[in-house]
């Protein structure tokens, strides 16, 4: 029987399988969809066990000219596999829909493998049993195991993507009950790609969608019962609006005589909700419609990275900061730093620091945005803005805790109040700390926003970042920022 998450996967397949594709199988294998997860689990078992044996025995033989204790390497391999299996299962990364996502697999496999190896090594040192293990064998096991698992996951993701696209999974016979006009629904196409082949499609006419089972619908359901009893039918799928609970209950009551499992496929509205993260709250489960601000653990981790990163950047760029300060003083009269009120986390105001690039120091209720060839910008300021060097003093804002290295860019209070009134969900940006750079900036929304539409698109990118945050996403944004600074200058 399909679990709720499996049904969610069937409803919303990965992007690589979302496009309409020929469903005739072209691959040489016909693996049942339900066997993918246990097959991957077995593969992980042999990869980790062999990595432990090959690394331990190989290192001892090549370096120390001895084989060593094979039983020790077997025990280590089994221990690591058990922990890797538990952690990967807890993350839901043995589900086929996640196995086909290469980016997710590379990220979480690396994180899980590194965490487990570090944790077990720490325990070995704490219990003072590390003396019996070769450091070379341990390091070899970590490297060989990680490379092997990554290669396995990459090959697996490629195969699964192709299998989903071509409908190459072994077929399982199902009967489909659907309202008229929905037999070609994308949700049905997704089920076909996973190997669920409808041997019979029963259409429910509009007059048959009443609470009670009409005579015509009763005849159709009797036909389904006959098919299920005379053929090996794995599932019965019902595709109808979820706002018709009485009809659904009536159909299930008629089909109750069958031992065949009956599943309700989400309609268009519900399927959009099921693509979101689900949580168990008490004894029930909920759909996360809005991501809360970062958890305490996430906040602590992000803060630690911010402090370490900002401190390192200040040390690295200290000669450049001093040089810019001197040049600003020589180029035009006025202070070195530009200070302005911005809105930060939870809408609280703070003072942002930047190198002064204009002849004016504007703050308040009416601040014109900088435009191309803006007469307010100094000669040096124009270069500082193009290279984004004027943003470097915001590292002090990061140290103080007003900002983060990565997050939605803060706007002047005047602009913030204006856009909050005309751009939907604008205030949601304040659920996290503002950043020196952000997802919107590395996707081209940097500098002046000439229209409300451009600001709305920038906000959409900021909201996507908040809802999809991860340490790896922050790292990706920082790297893209460094590559874009001299490639696509948009600030002026």
**CB 211 within 8 Å of CB 181:** no
CATH of domain 172-283: 3.40.50.11060
Give the pLDDT score at 211.
61
Give the pLDDT score at 125.
64
Domain residue ranges of the chain, discontinuous segments joined by +: 26-166, 172-283, 296-484
Nearest to 203 by CA among 218, 213, 217, 189: 217
Give the pLDDT score at 360.
65
* % residues pLDDT > 70 (the chain): 78
CA distance 452 to 423: 7
Q: How distant, in Å, are the alpha carbons of 299, 311, 331, 333 from that of 356?
A: 31, 22, 11, 10
Q: Residues with Cβ < 8 Å from 116, sequence gap 6 or more?
A: 80, 83, 84, 87
Give the pLDDT score at 485.
66
Give the pLDDT score at 44.
92
Nearest to 143 by CA among 203, 255, 59, 254: 59
Give the pLDDT score at 24.
41
If you write DSSP's letter for every residue of 115-152 in order, what string do you get? Answer: HHHHHHHHHHHHTT-GGGS-HHHHHHHHHHHHHHHHHH
pLDDT per position as a tens digit, 113-140: 888 877 777 776 665 555 555 666 778 8
Residue 374 backbone phi and psi in degrees, to 5: -65, 125
Q: How distant, in Å, are the alpha carbons of 189, 334, 389 from that of 324?
A: 60, 14, 9
pLDDT per position as a tens digit, 295-310: 777 888 899 999 999 9
Nearest to 489 by CA among 383, 392, 415: 383
**CB 180 within 8 Å of CB 204:** yes
Which of helix, strand or coil describes residue 490? coil
Residues of the chain below pLDDT 70: 1-31, 60, 63-68, 124-136, 167, 170, 181-185, 211-212, 268-269, 271-272, 274-275, 290-292, 360-374, 424, 447-450, 485-492
Give the pLDDT score at 149.
92
pLDDT per position as a tens digit, 60-97: 677 666 666 778 788 888 988 998 898 888 777 888 87
Give the pLDDT score at 449.
61
Please report which residue ranges of 132-275 form alpha helices under DSSP H: 135-166, 186-193, 215-230, 245-255, 268-274
**CB 313 within 8 Å of CB 388:** no
Global pTM value: 0.51
**CB 404 within 8 Å of CB 306:** yes
Torsion of CA 463, 465, 466, 472, to 10 degrees: 180
Give the pLDDT score at 196.
83
Give the pLDDT score at 16.
33
CA distance 65 to 61: 4
Residues in the chain: 492
């Amino acid at each position: 029987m399909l679990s709720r998450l499996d049904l969610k996967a069937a409803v919303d397949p990965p992007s690589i399988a979302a496009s309409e594709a020929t469903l005739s199988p072209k691959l040489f294998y016909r693996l049942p969809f339900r066997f993918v997860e246990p097959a991957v689990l077995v593969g992980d078992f042999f990869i980790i066990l062999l990595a432990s044996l090959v690394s331990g025995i190989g290192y001892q033989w090549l370096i120390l000219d001895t084989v060593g204790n094979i039983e020790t390497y077997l025990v280590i391999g089994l221990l690591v596999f058990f922990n890797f299996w538990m952690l990967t299962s807890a993350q839901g990364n043995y589900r086929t829909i996640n196995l086909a996502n290469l980016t997710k697999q590379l990220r979480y496999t690396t994180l899980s493998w590194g965490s487990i190896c570090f944790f077990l090594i720490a325990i070995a040192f704490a219990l003072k049993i590390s003396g019996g293990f070769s450091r070379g064998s341990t390091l070899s096991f970590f490297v060989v195991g990680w490379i092997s698992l990554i290669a396995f996951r990459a090959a697996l993701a490629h195969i699964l993507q192709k299998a989903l696209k071509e409908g190459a999974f072994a077929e399982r016979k199902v009967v489909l009950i659907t309202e008229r006009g929905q037999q070609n629904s994308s949700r049905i196409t997704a089920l076909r790609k996973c190997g669920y082949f409808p041997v019979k499609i029963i259409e429910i006419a509009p007059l048959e969608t009443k609470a009670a089972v009409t005579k015509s619908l009763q005849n159709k359901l009797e036909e389904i019962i006959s098919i299920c009893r005379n053929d090996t039918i794995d599932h019965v799928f019902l595709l109808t609006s979820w706002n018709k609970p009485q009809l659904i209950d009536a159909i299930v009551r008629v089909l109750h005589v069958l031992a065949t499992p009956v599943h309700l496929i989400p309609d268009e509205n519900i399927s959009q909700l099921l693509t979101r993260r689900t949580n168990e709250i008490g004894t029930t489960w909920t759909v996360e419609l809005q991501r809360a601000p970062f958890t305490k653990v996430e906040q602590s981790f992000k803060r630690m990275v911010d402090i370490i990163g900002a401190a390192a950047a200040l040390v690295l760029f200290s000669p450049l900061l001093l040089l810019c300060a001197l040049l600003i003083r020589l180029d035009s009269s006025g202070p070195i730093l530009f200070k302005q009120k911005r809105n930060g986390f939870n809408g609280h105001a703070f003072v942002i620091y930047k190198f002064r690039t204009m002849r004016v120091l504007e703050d308040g209720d009416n601040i014109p945005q900088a435009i191309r060839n803006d007469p307010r910008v100094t000669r040096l300021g124009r270069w500082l803005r193009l290279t984004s060097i004027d943003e470097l003093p915001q590292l002090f804002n990061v140290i103080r805790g007003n900002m983060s290295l990565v997050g939605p860019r803060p706007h002047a209070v005047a602009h913030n109040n204006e856009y909050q009134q005309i751009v939907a969900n604008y205030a949601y940006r304040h659920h996290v700390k503002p950043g020196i750079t952000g997802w919107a900036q590395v996707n081209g929304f940097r500098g002046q926003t000439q229209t409300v539409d451009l600001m709305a698109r920038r906000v959409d990118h900021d909201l996507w970042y908040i809802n999809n945050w991860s340490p790896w996403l922050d790292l990706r944004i920082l790297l893209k920022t460094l590559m874009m600074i001299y490639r696509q200058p948009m600030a002026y």
